Chain A
Amino acid sequence: LAKTTQPISMDSYEGQEVNITCSHNNIATNDYITWYQQFPSQGPRFIIQGYKTKVTNEVASLFIPADRKSSTLSLPRVSLSDTAVYYCLVVRSNDYKLSFGAGTTVTVRA
């Protein structure tokens, strides 16, 4: 699976938009981009997945350019409760060894 690179940490303030970019230069045709969120003392939680262009749900938006070598998770108008670790994964249907890496620690301040 393609290796992913994302920032170790990001700081933000309440009400701002947070954008986390993940690089995956070696992504393959049948790979999908998936993001998980992990709050302290909890297991990760799936938040969004996409293949190309833009995907939006009630939690976040995922932007994927045409070359798919990177993706950006956008968290609109964050609150203190969005403080968490966010993981970018490249996944495919026939590979079960999902690797999470260190993720991006997002800290939202008042």
Chain B
Amino acid sequence: DAGITQSPRHKVTETGTPVTLRCHQTENHRYMYWYRQDPGHGLRLIHYSYGVKDTDKGEVSDGYSVSRSKTEDFLLTLESATSSQTSVYFCAIGETGGKEKLFFGSGTQLSVL
């Protein structure tokens, strides 16, 4: 399996607090992605990165920011968590982007109360 580690695996937080999720890879892949998964919606892209300090928005980016200061780390930040951001968050990596296969992490279950 591809070397992808998401942390934390589970988190419970309160509305209005900041939350940061971390994705760490050991594969030296250029592309990294953050998805959220909710019942009935499949996986929806939040943000992605195509290199260090190079990021772009996905289809559901409102309320989220990302940073990538090193190839191996991609951080997802909820500046002020809301209950609608309760979800399972998946990180993915890809070597070349586009049609090349993605490798996914095990996910982070986030509950915002």
Which single residue of chain A is at the shortest CB-CB distance from B40?
A: A102
Q: In the complex, how many angstroms separate the beta carbon of B103 from the nearest chain A beta carbon? A: 8
Question: Which A residues lie within 8 Å of B43 (CB)?
Answer: 44, 87, 100
B: interface residue count bin: 20 to 34
Q: In the complex, how many angstroms separate the beta carbon of B5 from the nearest chain A beta carbon? A: 12
Residues of A within 8 A of B (CB): 32, 34, 36, 41-46, 49, 87, 91-103
Number of A-B contacts (CB under 8 A): 63
Q: A32-B99, A94-B98, A98-B102 are in contact. Are A41 and B107 (CB under 8 A)?
A: yes
The answer to whether B107 touches A46, judged by C-beta atoms less than 8 angstroms apart, is no
The answer to whether A91 touches B98, judged by C-beta atoms less than 8 angstroms apart, is yes
The answer to the question of B50 belonging to the interface, with a C-beta cut-off of 8 Å to chain A, is: yes
Task: Beyond the given A46-B103, A91-B99, A93-B98, please list 20 additional residue pairs across the A-B interface where CB-CB is below 8 A.
Answer: A32-B99, A36-B102, A43-B106, A44-B102, A45-B104, A46-B101, A92-B98, A92-B99, A93-B97, A94-B98, A96-B94, A97-B48, A97-B56, A97-B58, A98-B45, A100-B35, A100-B44, A101-B42, A102-B40, A102-B42
